[in-house]
Copies of this chain bind each other. A is one copy, B any other.
C-alpha cells in the first residue's frame, strides 16, 4: 500500500530521525533528507561517520571535564595559563564562548549542567564534587588567597542557586570567589534596558576611569 505521507520507508525513517533534532522541523528534515540523497555517497558517509566518531570517541578532560581528544584537555595542559584561577561554567559551549573573547587566561571547570529542581538536576548530577576536590588539592600547594573561583553561570534562579550551593562548599577553603560582572551591555541604550538590569547597574556602579 502506498503511504500517503512518504513514498519510501527509508525516507520516512531518515526524516523522522533528522526531525527529532532540536530546532529542525518536519519540513526542514524532509528538505535535508532529499538534499543528502542528491549528494555523493562519500560526502554523506563523511557526515554520518564524523557524528558517530564524535559520539563514540570523544573524551572529557579528567581535570576540568571539558571535551577533549585526550585525557587532559589543551587548556589544562597549557603551562602558560593560570592554573590557580578556575572559571566555573555550565557547559562546553560556555568555555568556547569565553575562549573566543581572548580575555581569560585561567582554567575552567565544566559542571555539565545547572542545579534545577524542576528538571530534577541536583548537585550530584554535576561535577561539583570534582571541583571541590580540585580546590582541596590546590590549597595544599598554594596560599588560599592566591586561588580564585569565578562563577560564569546564567543570571537566572538556577544559575544563582548553583553558584550559592558551590559557594557554600568552597567557603571553608578561604579562597577568593567571584562572579561575572552584570550590567548594561556595551553600546546598550538606557531607554531600552530592562528595569532589573538598569537597577543593578546603578547599584553596582563602578569608578569612572577615563
In this assembly, does A73 line the interface, its C-beta being within 8 Å of a C-beta of chain B?
Answer: yes
| Residues B4 and A67 in contact, CB atoms below 8 Å apart | no
> Given A37-B58, A58-B37, A67-B8, are A13 and B50 neighbors across the interface (CB < 8 Å)?
yes
For A202, what are the chain B residues with a Cβ–Cβ distance below 8 Å?
none
| Residues A9 and B69 in contact, CB atoms below 8 Å apart | yes
Q: Is the interface of A mostly helix, strand, loop or mixed?
A: helix
Q: How extensive is the interface on chain A, given as a class?
A: 35 or more
For A9, what are the chain B residues with a Cβ–Cβ distance below 8 Å?
69
Question: Nearest residue in B to A59 (C-beta to C-beta)?
Answer: B8
Number of copies of this chain in the oligomer? 2
For A67, what are the chain B residues with a Cβ–Cβ distance below 8 Å?
7-8, 11, 37
Chain A interface residues toward B at CB < 8 A? 1-11, 13-14, 16-18, 20-23, 28, 30-37, 39, 41, 44-58, 66-69, 73-75, 78, 91-93, 95-96, 99-100, 102
16 new A-B contacts at CB < 8 Å, known A4-B99, A34-B93, A47-B51: A6-B96, A7-B67, A8-B69, A10-B58, A14-B53, A17-B47, A20-B47, A21-B32, A22-B31, A30-B93, A34-B91, A34-B92, A36-B54, A37-B58, A37-B67, A39-B55
